[in-house]
Amino acid sequence: MTIWNKKRKPQSLASEEYVIRIRDLCKNFQMGDTVVQALRGISFDLTRGEYMSIMGTSGSGKSTLLNILGCLDTPSSGEYFLDGLAVAQMSDNALSAVRRKKIGFIFQSFNLLGQLSVLENISVPLFYQGWTERDSRERASKLAKMVGLGHRLKHKPTELSGGQCQRVAIARALANEPALIFADEPTGNLDSATGREIMQILDGLAEQGRTIILVTHERDIAEHAKRIINLTDGVIASDERR
């Protein structure tokens, strides 16, 4: 697919400058005899190294958009390019492969494996990429130290505080050098002081040039990003660059 600029010259949506490019993204759900339009033509670009937050109330289409951006679902129509790959109509298996290679997820509930240690949890993405055990341990250890957990490598999630668990999740998200870090309500289960510590880590990653999408319903958290997109009724109500 191509788009046209003002001079009417074709420009490919696949570009090294952008991590995300979406055009006229729509998502419909069949609810009995009724078709619900969750997304109604969403379009935006996310440049490499950009720090963006997405906000939206219940029913705004935020969760639907996030599932599509995270390659957990596909749109009913429209185009989505992730790091140069056309992913809008990929199969579930193909999307799974893209998620493993291109996206690092940080969740509100941490999503750590309780039976694994800090070192092993961080190593999980590397296992699926076929890394050797030695290289995985070396990489995971380095990341654990980076988030301040070099002294907790053998501890399991039940032996960690909420803030420490989220630090493990951040390290795990970085393991395979993803094109995009997806932080979905990363401070939602944390007290305010610990939440500020986690945001300092994310802000630092952004300063290093990481591409980050921060999802939150809290305005003060959203304002850590340089750009804030607000969704209302399945459309972009505002796109604020700060």
Q: Six-digit token pair at 167?
A: 């630090």
DSSP 191: -
Residue 107 pLDDT exceeds 80: yes
Cβ atoms 39, 234 nearer than 8 A: yes
Distance CA 168, CA 122 (A): 7
Q: To 10 degrees, what angle do helices 192-207 and 162-174 make?
A: 20
Q: Where are the domains of the chain?
A: 2-241
Indicate the DSSP class of residue 157: G
Give residue-wise pLDDT tens across range 73-106.
999 999 999 999 999 999 999 999 999 999 999 9
So what's the architecture of 2-241 in CATH?
Answer: 3-Layer(aba) Sandwich (3.40)
Tell me the mean pLDDT in the region 216-222.
Answer: 93
pLDDT at 232 over 90: yes
Closest CA to 54 of 12, 99, 92, 20: 20
Question: What is the distance between the alpha carbons of residues 97 and 187, in angstroms, rounded to a whole number?
Answer: 28
Q: Alpha helices of the chain — where are they, by DSSP H?
A: 62-69, 92-102, 118-128, 133-146, 162-174, 192-207, 219-222
Kindly report the average pLDDT of the chain as a whole number.
Answer: 92
pLDDT for 5 beyond 50: no
pLDDT in tens, 139-186: 999 999 999 999 999 999 999 999 999 999 999 999 999 999 999 999
What's the confidence (pLDDT) of residue 83? 96
